[in-house]
Structures are given as C-alpha cells and as structure tokens.
A and B are shown apart, each in its own frame.
Chain A
Amino acid sequence: MITYALLFAFACFGAGLLFNLWRIAVGPDVADRILALDTMVINAIALMVLYGIWRGTAVYFEASLLIAMVGFISTVAYCRFVLRGDIIE
C-alpha cells in the first residue's frame, strides 16, 4: 500500500515541478520567477525525502537539509539583488 501512496506522491510533486517550470518560462514579472524557483526547491526537497522512503535509507536527509538551506539563501540573495542592486551592502 505504501508503494502506491509513494507513487501517487511522486506523481503529484513531479507534476508540481512541471507547473513551476511553466511559471518560470511564462511568468510576466521577476517576482513570479523567483517564487517559482523557490517552490521548485521545496518540491525537490519533497522528492528527495520520498526517494529516501522508497529506497529505505536515511542517507538523503542530510542532502535535503543542505538543499533547503541553499534554496533559502539563494532566494534571499536573488530578492536582495533585484531590490537593492547589491547582495551584501
């Protein structure tokens, strides 16, 4: 039963990634693209944790924690660059 639930969750988050990609390609404003990239990072974290359950190992948690941190920092850096024209003033 867990197998089917995992496949369902994989499909949902994979479709979510495709939607985000569409928003990055279309998005009329820079803010839309930053938001779509941030959501892509969150979806990627979910996919990695799901893959960890699928394989039955706890190796992928460290990787997903690192990706969460890098995603947050990159979103803030991108926003500050657009806002102020500089990242660290």
Chain B
Amino acid sequence: MKRGQAAVLLCAVLLLLVTAYPAAWLTFRALRDPSGAWTLENLRAVFAAPRLREGAINTLLLALTGAAFAAVSGGVLAALAARTDAPGRALIRPLALAPYLVPPIVASLAWIVLADGQGGLLNVLLARAGTSLHVEIFSFWGVAFVGGLVCSPVAFIILHEAFSGLDGELEEAARVCGASEPLVWRRVILPAVWPALAAAGLLCALLCNAQFGVQAPIGMPANVWTLSTLVYSTSLVGPVDLGLASAMALLLAAAGALLLVLQRVAARRAAPRRANARPARRLALGRWRWPVAGLLALYAAVALVLPYGALLLRSLRPFNLHAGMSAHQLISGWDAGVWARLWRDEVVRRAFRHSFILATATAALCCLLGAVGGWALYRRRTRGRALLEWLFFATPALSGVVVGLAVLLAFGGAPFWLYGTYLILLIAYVAREAATGLKAAEAALRGTPTELDEAARVCGAGAFQLAQRIWWPLLRPTLAAGAALSFIAAFREVGASSMVYSHGHEVLGSLLMVVWQDGRYQELAALALAGGLAAMAGSALVYRVVRGPRA
C-alpha cells in the first residue's frame, strides 16, 4: 500500500473511531433497557411524554427563529460591509465577529444580567427613566434572540463572501438597461446570494439546534425545555436515565443530520466566486449614511458594548445592582478581588492549562486530519469520498452535550476505559472540530491548480516531496486560519467538556458550567473575560506558528 493511501486509510479509521463509533454506542444505549434487553421503549417515551414532545418542538422552533435572526442580522451587516459605502465600514467585520469570542453560556449570563424581567439592568434603567418599556430574557424569544446573536458571525462570514464574490458585470448590464438601484438589488443581487443565504440560515439553524449554552441558562428557568437541556437533565442531574437521554440525543442527532443535508445542498447551489469576476460597484448610501451609522451603533451596543460591559460590571460586584439599592450601596459594593482570587486558585490555573494544551492538540489534529482528508476528497477523487465527507461533517451538527454523552458511553468504560484521562476530552473536541480543518483545507486545495502537482511529478517528486514542497506551503495560510478557529472552539467548549471531564482533568468549559450552576456569577463573569482574552491570545499564537513567517 502506498503511503498516501495509508494516510487516507488512517484518517478514515480515526474519524470512524471518533464519530461513527460513539454514534453507534448512542444508538445501542437508546435501544437497550437497564437489564440489557432490546427495546423501543426509550424512543416511544420520547414521543409519548408531552414534555419531551414539547422539548422536540421547542428545539425546532428555536432553531428556526434563532437562524432567522442570525441570517437577517449577519446578512444586513455583510451587505453593508461588502456592498455599500457605510461609514466605519472597516469596523463592521470585527463588530460582526465579536459575539463568536465568548462561549454561549457567558453571552447568556451577560443578557440575564441585562434583561432579566425582574431587576435586569436595562429594566432598572427603563423604569428609572419613567418608561413603561420592559424586556424579559427568560422567555422563548429571549432564548431565540441570544441564540441568534451568538450564531450571527457564522451568517456574516458566509454572506460577506457571497456579496463580495458577485460578478459586477451582471449588475452593470441591468443598470445599462435602465434598472433602478432597488430593482438591481431585487432582481440581480438578492437572487444571486439567495442560495448562500439559505446555506447560512440552515447552518445557523444547525448551530442554534445544538446550543446548550443558551438553552440551559435562559430556557430552563423560563420553562422552555429543549432536547439538549432534557438530555443534560436526564443524564447528569435529577433522576438519571441514560437510556432515555440517549434516545433524546439520537433524535437531536437525526434533526441535526437532516439540517446538515439541507445545508450541504444549499451550499452547493451557492455560486462559487469566479476568479476573473469584475468587482461590483459599492452602493452610495447618500442621505441614508447616518441612519445606517445609527443602525451599526445599535448593533454595536447590542452585540458588544452592553454584554461585555455587563460582564465587566458583574465581575466587579459580588451581587448585581438592583432598583432597591441606596446610593451608598451603589458606591460601596465594588470588589475587584475576584481576579486575584481566581489567579491564586489552583483549579482555575489547572483548567486554563488543560484547556490550552487540549485546544492546541485539537487544532493540530484537526488540521492534520483536514489536510489528509482534503487531499483525498478534492485531489485524489478517492473511492468512498461521500462517506469520508460525512464522517467529517456529521458531528459538528450535534450539540456538545450529545457528543459528550456519546463519547462518554463509547470510551468511558470497556474496552477503552478512557474516563478520567485527557484523551477522552481530546476525542470529544476532535469529533466536534474535524470539519473546521477540512473546510480550511478545502478552501486552499480548491483554489490551487493541479498543474503544480503534475509539474512536480514530471520532475520526479514523490508523494512526500510533493506534500512538503508544494501542498504544505500552499495550504499553510488557510490551515492556520482553520487551526485558530478550532483552537477557539475547543478552548471555549462547554457542553461536551462538562459531560466527560473528571476530577483533576478540569478544563475551562467544565469550570464555567460548575460556576454557573453554583450561581457564582462574579467569578463566572471574570472567568469568561479571562477565557475570552486567553482564547484570542492562544488562537493568535497557533495561527502564527502554523502559518510560519510571511514570505
């Protein structure tokens, strides 16, 4: 067997082990009763119990509403950044990507501090201002709003690419034929980006479907249960029923797989960027410039200033501000000591250290798997490509809680006995992030002409030389971006981490979950801010190391 084939085979085996094997265990557990006999009782219970049925419906509705919000907000920002002369255009990209940096559970905390119907800061300010306006985060719409906000960077990335890649010739032709600017947008631009919008919307639905970090802190108190929170509650708290939890996880996985198929179909229909496309003209906003600037400022307030400000404020106070406080209490209750306490805490230091090491290992493994998989899928036209591609994309569609449960069932006990090791955490992270590596490799490989390979082969280069001298230098910059994204995702992962961690193997995600459960919100806010900064610094370092020195 050639070395190339061996690498592809190894990649396929590894993916089978981290994705298909846990999925098989999940199915197995869902179809067995505690005595070990085969049964459909667990699946029947999911459909029979009104609460579980309601959880399934809530999951679907939250995915759709969250995705709609994400697609609209991400789409508007992408259109403004790519196709208009909006003021402060250069700032739109960092602004749109900002919600990605903090884990969803922390974004949820920020919005609880701000918009709790009873005593949230916004409600206190609105009441003091004498208005009758009132916001309530503990509601279905609250979960959908925060879920959508957290997913909007994904929609922005896809739609920004779609808007930037449009061929300007078509638009110019329409204008030459006398079409007004609104007509050009309606008849040319929007139909051209429609498949990308559908792909972005479906991807956001997929992510909202799997958003335990929002559904748990906001949805559970509001009695808005979803399959993710029911899986968590049934497998880790309350009376434990792993068979029922597995059946619900299986249903959630099936919904994710369906959304994934639809997303892949929509993504294939999205027009690829033409290499010789003429850049499209930017729309002059004219008198709309300042209203648009206002809209951007409002988004900046909602996505950046208010939540991060609330976190910073919360990290400096043991208890939240509330309407009944006297002026003296307002002035006196500040405490920055939490930062020092966290710094001295051995468990916190250990969790950060573990997260850094595991996120780095995840980034390296995902890039390696992505590079080998990308080569097999987009260069070699290897047999079984569809299966390989599915192995890559199957698990990111799942909630971290579901992946964690599946990995725990598959690797926690016999025959691997990996519970209580770092390896089980790494497996869960790689299962969730392998697709990022492949996407990065795909972007690089699709843009590289095959003539280079042929020329190298004609000159007598073997597979190793080809990889070292041609592909690696070409793949490096995009793989570096993929590695940085995998790093951030693994560093801030909460759902799977809290399912599979054990004493002595704490990571930032598991720590955030524990601190959230205990209601230690000051520590949570400080940990979140520190974690966000560490994730940014770590991903920049990983990017730098993988990319290497600039030519």
The judgment on whether A and B are partners is no
Binding site for A on B (CB under 8 A): none
Binding site for B on A (CB under 8 A): none
